[in-house]
Chain A
Amino acid sequence: MKTSRFATFLLVLYGLLILGFLYLPLVSVGLASISKARYLSFPIRKYAYGWYEEALTSDTVRDLLVVSLKVAGVVTILSMIIGFFGALAFARYNWRFRKTYQKLILLPIFFPQTVLGLALLMWFNALGIIPSWKTAIVAHLVWIAPIATLVVSIRAFSFDAALEEAARDMGANQWQTLREVTIPLLMPGVTSAGLFAFLLSWGNFPLSLFSTGADSTLPEWLFAKMVSGYSPLVPTVGTLTVATSAILVILALLLAWAIRKLRPAT
């Protein structure tokens, strides 16, 4: 069937509208960050770039950045490890309570994050733990580790069990099988899981709000400043946060492309 020109036009229009809906808000934040006005209002009459200098030299922003990076970094590493072993149990091996495990591990994803955050805060209090960026790692992991497990599982589901059996048949012990076959084959999944974990932790607000205590992550600070004490520094930091995520994704794509290119040629 041939699509009529009018239908094509409608399809393109629809696509552009969706893209606009997704990206225009981000663009407006970017524009707000370079506005000279003290308050967020459109149209922007005068432009100024001083807030970027301010953001990059500010001690507050540096502290926020350090906290966010520490949390996201540790969450990423732990999610990759938990996701790897979790996925083996989830998708690779048959064991008695596998079905139950599969359901239980996914449940935290469906909890409202605010409730999860509140529950964790109460639990930390009960245990006498003072919330800080370290407790935020635990809180993030409750929600992100299951997602990482799922991401690695997608890879693990396509895994031919005979590969591990063949390695064993040819004399590999369990550790050698893991090192030579399982880990290298699941690695692409583990890398994607790490990327997801970083981005989800980096941008997370509800869990951080309840669990960081006196420390503050970038999203928390953005929210606090929106509520009181707004200045164009807020959209500036916001824009920089988005840029960091974008750069990370681009780097990951470049890395994947480079690995494909560097593999033994014909």
Chain B
Amino acid sequence: MTDASQPILRINALTKRFDDFTALHGVDLNVAEGEFLAIVGPSGSGKTTLIRILVGMDELSDGAVWLRNTRIDVVPANKRPTCMVFQSLALFPHRTVGQNIEFPLKLRKVPPAERKARALELLDTLRLPRDYYDKRIQQCSGGEKQRVALARALAFDPEILFFDEPLSALDYRLRKTLEKELKDLHRRTGKTFIYITHSLEEAMVMSDRIAIMKAGRFEQIAPAEEIYARPVSKFVAEFMGEVNFFDLRNGQAEGLLMTPETAAALAGRSGTLTIRPESLRTLPEGQAADLTFEGEIVAEYLLGSRMQYRMMLATGQEMIVEVLRENGVAGGIGAALRVGCDLSAAHLIEEARDAAA
């Protein structure tokens, strides 16, 4: 990723209005050359609308899209140097695997021998056997179809490769395998990938940066670790996985025991304090952490090597705690639980910022 260089894609105040609602509210985004960017959001957040506008399937209402120094939102889809892997993959059922891969080359009048050589090369790249060249699409499995669709998109040799949730229809294990392959493919080809998904897990495994979308706006655009550790809103925090929220009013929060140092650090501040279940640890009697919570176990779940507890605080608020199994507590449901964390593991979403979101 070359951050210093000029971005390959610049989206400028892009707005999309339909008859009765606005799908995108003037979004801005810069994508660096060779970056793997994931755009994540729940359905209806506008991510599919955005990608369709970027590849030219739909028109924008306002704003501009630049590919390096060319304004591309005014260029028809078939003249744009970008390519998309569709959710349905859109492989031509009446063509063989080879013909599918060669399709963009055939349109460019590349001679048949050269086309075939390139298609076979791409079969190698995607780790498909070369004799798949003459196979029919219907004879391919789900994962093989994915690879054929990727090979076809790579045959086009796009400046930017777009993905519209291509893995969503596959079973869990295959998805996991392909996620890693895709990341590996990104590294090997050095191309710019823009990947749309509703699965944050998928985005975290593959991408350099994640853009979280909500109701036609970008909520936060940052590397995964940053979004995880320092979400800008409750929406992002919850989207990134299970989290505990505490309302902080002028440095005070109910159900929260603080050391004097912590109280001093939080004095006068208001907002939502977010604490991830796995940053909590069990505390022996008499010992306190920067932030300490006391309550009663109301449910417990075994998550492989970890243990998750749902703890009821004296205030009636429920809290999720996740610890390593060997650090778990005996007694089960009904037992008392004392957990705590360092102040640095808690993140405060300041009042003003969340209100705007």
Of B83, B92, B93, B135, the residue contacting A169 (CB under 8 A) is B83
Q: How far is the CA of A163 from the CA of B149 in the complex (A)?
A: 12
Of B86, B90, B92, B156, the residue contacting A171 (CB under 8 A) is B156
The answer to whether B220 has its CB under 8 Å from any CB of chain A is no
CB of A84, distance to nearest CB on chain B (Å): 16
Q: Please count how many residues in chain A sit with their CB below 8 Å of the partner chain's CB atoms.
A: 20
The verdict on A169 contacting B108 (CB below 8 Å), with A162-B90, A264-B134 known, is no
Chain B, residue nearest A187 (CB): B94
Chain A, residue nearest B152 (CB): A170
The verdict on A165 contacting B94 (CB below 8 Å), with A171-B104, A264-B136 known, is no
- Residues of the A chain whose Cβ atoms lie less than 8 Å from the Cβ of B94: 184-185
Q: How far is the CA of A107 from the CA of B55 in the complex (A)?
A: 40
Chain A, residue nearest B155 (CB): A170
The answer to whether B103 has its CB under 8 Å from any CB of chain A is yes
Q: Is the interface of A mostly helix, strand, loop or mixed?
A: helix
Within 8 A of A (CB), among B135-177: 135-136, 139, 152, 156
Of A168, A180, A266, the residue contacting B77 (CB under 8 A) is A168
Whether B93 pairs with A168 at a CB distance below 8 angstroms is no
Whether B136 pairs with A166 at a CB distance below 8 angstroms is no
Interface-central residue, B77, B87, B135, B156, by most chain A CB under 10 Å = B77
CB of B139, distance to nearest CB on chain A (Å): 7
Whether B107 pairs with A172 at a CB distance below 8 angstroms is yes
Whether B78 pairs with A168 at a CB distance below 8 angstroms is yes
Q: How far is the CA of A160 from the CA of B139 in the complex (A)?
A: 19
- Residues of the B chain whose Cβ atoms lie less than 8 Å from the Cβ of A176: 107
The answer to whether A263 has its CB under 8 Å from any CB of chain B is yes
- Where the two chains meet, the residues of B that have a C-beta atom closer than 8 Å to any C-beta of A are 55-57, 77-80, 82-84, 86-88, 90, 92-94, 96, 103-104, 107-108, 134-136, 139, 152, 156
The 3 A-B residue pairs whose C-beta atoms are closest, nearest first, are A166-B90, A162-B90, A170-B104
Whether A170 pairs with B107 at a CB distance below 8 angstroms is yes
Of B82, B93, B103, B139, the residue contacting A180 (CB under 8 A) is B103
The verdict on A169 contacting B136 (CB below 8 Å), with A160-B90, A185-B93 known, is no
- The contact string, 1 if C-beta is below 8 Å from chain B, for chain A 143-182, is 0000000000000000010110111111111001000110
Whether A163 pairs with B104 at a CB distance below 8 angstroms is no
Chain B, residue nearest A176 (CB): B107
CB of B279, distance to nearest CB on chain A (Å): 43
Whether B136 pairs with A263 at a CB distance below 8 angstroms is yes
Q: How far is the CA of A185 from the CA of B80 in the complex (A)?
A: 25
Chain A, residue nearest B79 (CB): A171
Whether B86 pairs with A172 at a CB distance below 8 angstroms is no
CB of B38, distance to nearest CB on chain A (Å): 20
CB of B80, distance to nearest CB on chain A (Å): 8
CB of A260, distance to nearest CB on chain B (Å): 11
Whether A162 pairs with B86 at a CB distance below 8 angstroms is yes
Interface-central residue, B77, B83, B90, B156, by most chain A CB under 10 Å = B90
6 A-B residue pairs with Cβ-Cβ distance under 8 Å, sorted by A, are A168-B57, A170-B156, A171-B104, A172-B78, A172-B107, A180-B92
Chain B, residue nearest A174 (CB): B78
Whether B88 pairs with A169 at a CB distance below 8 angstroms is no
Chain A, residue nearest B52 (CB): A165
Of B78, B92, B96, B136, the residue contacting A163 (CB under 8 A) is B92
Whether B134 pairs with A165 at a CB distance below 8 angstroms is no
CB of B72, distance to nearest CB on chain A (Å): 13
Chain A, residue nearest B134 (CB): A264
Whether A171 pairs with B84 at a CB distance below 8 angstroms is no
- Residues of the B chain whose Cβ atoms lie less than 8 Å from the Cβ of A266: 135, 139
Q: How far is the CA of A136 from the CA of B90 in the complex (A)?
A: 43
CB of A184, distance to nearest CB on chain B (Å): 5
- Residues of the A chain whose Cβ atoms lie less than 8 Å from the Cβ of B55: 169
Within 8 A of B (CB), among A234-266: 263-264, 266
Chain A, residue nearest B138 (CB): A263
Whether A167 pairs with B135 at a CB distance below 8 angstroms is no
